[in-house]
Amino acid sequence: VNKTLYLLFVLIIFFMPKSFDSFSKQYNLFADQAIRISGYDTQTLVDAKLKKLKNLYPALAKNSFCLLDYGCGIGNLYDSVAKFFPKAVYTGVDQSKKSIREAKLRFPDHFDFQELDSSSWKEKKYDLIFSSGVFHHIPHDEHSSLIQYLSSLLNANGKMVIWEHNPINPFTQKIVKECIFDEDAILIQSKKLKQHLENASFSKVRVKYTTFFPKILSGLNIFDPFLSWLPLGGQYLAIGEKSDES
């Protein structure tokens, strides 16, 4: 791993907010309260994310692969990952020590939840790095360095998917404003993350918008894949693939 990237990553860890420690015990309760306007609960939305990932990469649903959940929190993604990717080798990492402790308590049979400053997860290579709702908690001037560092942990043809809130969606703005652990959040324009992925030499870089309909209109979710070009969804995915030459 490039030493300069590693040093930058260490600085990112040092300056990341530590506020999630205080929410680890009741994270899902607070999250459910924040998204109540949508009609959904946290785990339903987690399942929707995994379903989206499976639709993006159907081959991964059939094969063994290494998955890094960057910003795993208390392990919500792990709770459902086997339903969609039964052969995934899961590693979850988070800056919040108490969240990692909570994840280990929730899933005592899974031992690969790690703190961000651990060296173990940095010594592995991954086929898919997924990060959901994390980057808006990290200072924007550190995004480029972080993406470059995470890219160094990907195998050839490895995928990176960054799932973020869409700052131009008014319902998203309301949810973030009312969410107790999003007080430090600064939402990111999709074109910025797209640019960072391109600068990190990712190929097949694209943005897909999602989460267009609340639960009361859930029957319209069948149209969600056809609207991925429309920058009005509540959230978006910034996607890139590491080429063989990277």
**pLDDT 10s per residue in the chain (246 long)?**
555 554 444 444 444 445 555 555 555 555 656 666 677 777 888 999 999 999 999 999 999 999 999 999 889 999 899 999 999 999 999 998 989 999 999 999 887 999 999 999 999 999 999 999 999 989 999 999 999 999 999 999 999 999 999 999 998 888 888 777 677 789 999 999 999 999 999 999 999 999 888 888 889 989 999 999 999 999 999 999 997 655
Predicted pLDDT of residue 237:
97
Decide: 201 and 246 in contact? Cβ < 8 Å: yes
- Vertex 73 angle, CA 67 and 75, to 5°: 60
Single pTM value for the model: 0.86
Look at phi and psi of residue 73 and say left if phi exceeds 0, alpha if psi is from -120 to 50, else beta: left
**CA 168 to centroid of chain Cα atoms:** 19
Predicted pLDDT of residue 218:
86
CA dihedral 161, 127, 240, 137 (to 10 degrees): 40
Predicted pLDDT of residue 50:
96
Quickly count: other Cβ atoms within 10 Å of residue 18's Cβ.
10
